[in-house]
Structure 1
Amino acid sequence: MIVDPEVVTLSRLQFALTALYHFLFVPLTLGLVWILAIMESVYVMTGREVWKRMVQFWGVLFGINFAMGVATGITMEFQFGMNWAYYSHYVGDVFGTPLAIEGLMAFFLEGTLVGLFFLGWNRISRVKHLLVTWFLALATNLSALWILVANGWMQYPVGSAFNVETMRMEVTSFAEVLFNPVAQAKFVHTVSAGYVLGAMFVLSISAWYLLRGRNVDFARRSMTVAASFGLAAALSVVVLGDESGYAISENQKMKMAAIEAMWETEPAPASFTVFGVPDVEARTTHFALRIPWVMGLIGTRSLDKPIPGIANLVEDTKGKIASGLEAYDAMLMLREDRNDAQARAILAAHDQDMGYALLLKRFMDDPRKATPADIQKAADSTIPDVPVLFWAFRIMVACGFYFIALFAWSFWLASKRRLDEKRWYLKLALWSLPLPWLAAELGWIVAEYGRQPWAIEGILPTALGVSSVTAGQVWISLGGFVLFYTVLAAIDATLMVRYARRGPDGLGIWPAADANSLSPAGKGPG
């Protein structure tokens, strides 16, 4: 039976909306927790009360964000049963393990440490509380590691094999799943992007205080930490993004070709297209402005290795579909007779391509009846939306270089103690607040939209992973999620804006009468 395309589209839309919304909170948690650890370390080493107050104030905003992240993360997991039941059945043996570990990290370890962080100020010593904060930072990042291990396996499914007896993918090497090069590259790049977001969050809100002449010393110190941490993080994002790009070019060649709108294979080393207008119908890029050699060096780390173009990859896919049909036919024969040695040998020789034969099931019930035209159609379906990927990637990269410039300028001003001298700079820092979120969301669009039509790259097409539900049922759940997340968005925005506006003095963390001093007693630095 051919799956209803509307069910597939709605299920993808629902998961995309909930994932993108959840990812509004994840990177801020990843970045802000390290800033808390840095500030508290200074407090413990110097004994200056202002640093404790800074940790407590930014900790309030961290707590609100953390709670929203947990709430939106829980609902995301429901969808694997609601909308992606066959996906869960087919790859649950592999995907479920890191997902379960991530759940334990997020809801037990992190939850416990968050409780100790907020309730332990007057119950445990300074050093012990500092250790809690540092362990919280580590636990938060380890939680991200496991979900990215799961996601990395979806992008590059190593350490697993298809079992014809169970008709599922099963783990053959958990070490390969854990140390998957795509997962590791995604992890370091993603957490670095979170660090940038956390730094920008502190920088922007502190700039708002300085623009209004409130909590001046408090804001200056916060901006100094954010500028230093943000500059290191922004530089790391670019360097680690290069490693992530290399992993894509090695393991997801169609995604790389789509990002570059590279319709034909170029002579090595390939150029990088800074600007262009991809034309899907004509399969060309108009008004292309290219920098020679750059893409070849980034994508292959060489001067003589080409990056295959979309047309060449489609031709390769047609060959994989033909190979996959051999495996598909052998699998059906083994279901009839599990002792058929010839069928088992054919399956073993071609099972790495069986997922490509499954692409045909989007168009017909029996892939074995496919004509050359059907195979061409299935091969063409492996081309993702080129204009979306092309522009999402370039806007993300432009944001990355902007962050380096802004944090470098902030760091220089902080070193000269001139952070509050230029109002234009403070306004620029304030209005830059949304940009890290934009870059992070675009990064996920590139990662997830770029591997379509695959739920598991080369293994399971997205169209086959959905549950046996009707479009009407998905509309109901989609509406419920949109309503629930809209309410959460309103609550989160209200709380974050309210507490940020009140500031440390308004929350009683810093005496209002001495809001511009470093000492609660108003006696200068303390």
Structure 2
Amino acid sequence: MELDIVALSRLQFAITALYHFLFVPLTLGLSIVIAIMETVYVMTGRAIWRQMTKFWGTLFGINFVLGVATGIVMEFQFGMNWSYYSHYVGDIFGAPLAIEGLMAFFLEATFVGLFFFGWDKLSKLGHLAAAWAVAIGSNFSALWILIANGWMQNPVGAAFNPQTMRMEVADFYAVLMNPVAQAKFVHTVSAGYVTASIFVLGVSAWFVLKGRHLELAKRSMTVAASFGLAASLSVVVLGDESGYLSTEHQKMKLAAIEAMWETEPAPAPFTAFGFPDQEARTTHFAVRIPWVMGLIGTRSLTTEIPGIENLVDHARERIANGVVAYDALQKIRAAGSDAAIPDDVRKAFEDNGADLGYALLLKPYIDDPRQASPEQIDQAAWDTVPNVPTLFWTFRIMVGLGFFFILLTAVFFYLSARHRLDRYPWLLRIAVLSIPLPWIAAECGWIVAEFGRQPWIIEGVLPTAAGVSSLGAFTVLMTIIGFSAIYTVLFIVEMSLMLRAIRKGPEPDDEPQAELVPPALAPAE
């Protein structure tokens, strides 16, 4: 069997990315939950809130360490497995990652130490400031990562330099304020808040079922239910915004998510259920809800959403334009100097340069895209269609779980307000069983975002197949096996530490009770 270096490189990055994202959502959300709990402790002076902060802080610390370790491996992969990609977009992609490392990560890592070791060395307000610095640093770190990822989905503020054969920053403000990146940031961090809320809710429900640490568990459930309900609602709203932006910037991804093979009359229906068949280019047993997709995707009753076949036709046109740009690029490079470039060649590149990446889609079929046959162009055009069944089902699993989280947190919010959190054991068991579900939803979200961008590593600019390093397939295969083995061991260790900490429960708080009385309530002398 011949090993495909592109497929293996993608598989390796997918494994490390999906594994890393097991830790990111809980870090983002739990840091905020802990800061909220410590804020209540400082405001009220009640020891139970300090005990809650320490207990959930321990679980945060275990998760944080594994997240940092796996994140470092991912950044090294850009240079090892995707060296041409790193060369091609290093000016743009490197800047957010550098800022994330210099500002956000150091802020987060520095104050993590103060949070864990500063309880008896800092004042209450000083320690609270450290807790919020950890939370802000965690979320600030996610911002810069998602600015970089958002640029890959919607490459703005950059231009291709034919002399250096690289993308270069033309407008850093446009990169920073990229609407796709901003929507991804708020959607991703909100998903992290939901993950932490369901985690806290489920672990606390387990304590209640066992009759242990009831005071801590019930207060934790109250925080988790209220915070989780707000976060769950925001995830749905922000997910709708991401879908609307896909209509503008990633039309093929949206069409694949909906298994929309042909352009539907406006407003397009939403396919609630069905079995997409990519070979037959149809969806079997489709159940469609009229108008819904048109309203969500375009927010109008008159705007069409193009179907897959229509978008493939458009891709053929862009491939033809890209071939013209590719020919002009070869002539520009052969000219040797800017003054020697003929005007007609310069104009041909300026007019068609935006489609250069489409010509590179022909590279898997022929070395020189200018020599491509109509059949090869047709193959390359259909390559712009991602795996439709995968996107169709992962999107619906993610959305279905999102609405379930709204229902679950709303129910527990109501029970908390009525002081009935321990009245319904079957609901508590549902909360415990729901702990893994936010991770499933988050992983589905990343599959939709990243798998749906294929065959592009940078949407419309650089095909994934063109970005890999010149490594042997066997070398990549061995690293996949090695990473999988190491990550399996780390996962077992992490789960063992988390479960041990949960079974052990909170440590008895040894803070002097005299310090717990708020000044306003202290007896007059």
TM-score (norm 2): 0.95
Alignment deviations for residues 488-513 of structure 1 (CA, whole Å, 9 cap, x no partner):
11110110011011111xx44489xx
Other structure's SS at 1:165 match: coil
Q: Is 2:153–2:453's contact at 8 Å kept on the other side of the alignment?
A: yes
* d(CA) in 1 for partners of 2:245, 2:313: 22
Aligned twin of 2:190: 192
| Deviation for aligned residue 1:347 | 0.7
**Which stretch shows the higher mean deviation, 110-119 or 335-344?**
335-344
Aligned twin of 2:522: none
* d(CA) in 2 for partners of 1:27, 1:228: 18
| Deviation for aligned residue 1:150 | 0.3
Which of 365, 368, 372 is the matching residue for 2:367? Answer: 365
Q: Is 2:47–2:509's contact at 8 Å kept on the other side of the alignment?
A: no
* d(CA) in 1 for partners of 2:84, 2:501: 44
Aligned twin of 2:431: 429
* Identity percentage of aligned residues: 64
Which of 387, 390, 401 is the matching residue for 2:389? Answer: 387
- Could you tell me which amino acid in structure 1 is paired with residue 49 of structure 2? W
Q: 2:37 aligned with 1:39, yes or no?
A: yes
Q: How does 1:38-437 map to 2 (within 5 A)?
A: 38-337=36-335, 338=337, 339-340=340-341, 341-437=343-439
| Deviation for aligned residue 1:106 | 5.0
* d(CA) in 2 for partners of 1:67, 1:451: 30
Aligned twin of 2:462: 460
Other structure's SS at 2:4 match: helix
Q: Is 1:53–1:510's contact at 8 Å kept on the other side of the alignment?
A: no
* d(CA) in 2 for partners of 1:477, 1:76: 13
Aligned twin of 1:439: 441
Other structure's SS at 2:362 match: helix
- Could you tell me which amino acid in structure 1 is paired with residue 348 of structure 2? I
Other structure's SS at 1:360 match: coil
Aligned twin of 1:448: 450
Q: Is 2:232–2:406's contact at 8 Å kept on the other side of the alignment?
A: yes
- Could you tell me which amino acid in structure 1 is paired with residue 193 of structure 2? Y
* d(CA) in 2 for partners of 1:126, 1:111: 20
Q: How does 1:490-509 map to 2 (within 5 A)?
A: 490-504=492-506, 507-509=507-509
* d(CA) in 2 for partners of 1:22, 1:104: 20
* d(CA) in 2 for partners of 1:399, 1:496: 24
Q: Is 1:27–1:198's contact at 8 Å kept on the other side of the alignment?
A: yes
Task: Pick closer, same or farther for the CA change 1:28–1:214 going to 2, 3 Å.
Answer: same
| Deviation for aligned residue 1:251 | 0.2
Task: Pick closer, same or farther for the CA change 1:257–1:351 going to 2, 3 Å.
Answer: same
* d(CA) in 2 for partners of 1:38, 1:202: 13
- Could you tell me which amino acid in structure 2 is paired with residue 382 of structure 1? T
Other structure's SS at 2:344 match: helix
- Could you tell me which amino acid in structure 2 is paired with residue 419 of structure 1? L
Other structure's SS at 1:361 match: coil
Runs of 5+ consecutive residues of structure 2 not aligned to the other structure? 518-525
**Which stretch shows the higher mean deviation, 331-340 or 191-200?**
331-340
* d(CA) in 2 for partners of 1:508, 1:334: 73
Other structure's SS at 1:315 match: helix
| Deviation for aligned residue 1:9 | 0.4
* d(CA) in 2 for partners of 1:491, 1:363: 45
**Which stretch shows the higher mean deviation, 10-19 or 125-134?**
125-134
- Could you tell me which amino acid in structure 2 is paired with residue 308 of structure 1? P
Other structure's SS at 1:364 match: coil
* d(CA) in 2 for partners of 1:459, 1:416: 55
| Deviation for aligned residue 1:481 | 1.1
Q: Is 1:260–1:272's contact at 8 Å kept on the other side of the alignment?
A: yes
Other structure's SS at 2:164 match: coil
CA RMSD of superposed structures (Å):
1.4
Aligned twin of 1:514: none
* d(CA) in 2 for partners of 1:105, 1:400: 32
- Could you tell me which amino acid in structure 2 is paired with residue 139 of structure 1? G
* d(CA) in 2 for partners of 1:269, 1:37: 45
- Could you tell me which amino acid in structure 1 is paired with residue 439 of structure 2? W
TM-score (norm 1): 0.95
Other structure's SS at 2:361 match: helix
| Deviation for aligned residue 1:111 | 0.5
Alignment deviations for residues 312-356 of structure 1 (CA, whole Å, 9 cap, x no partner):
000000000000111100000011103213212211111100000
Aligned residue-pair number: 508
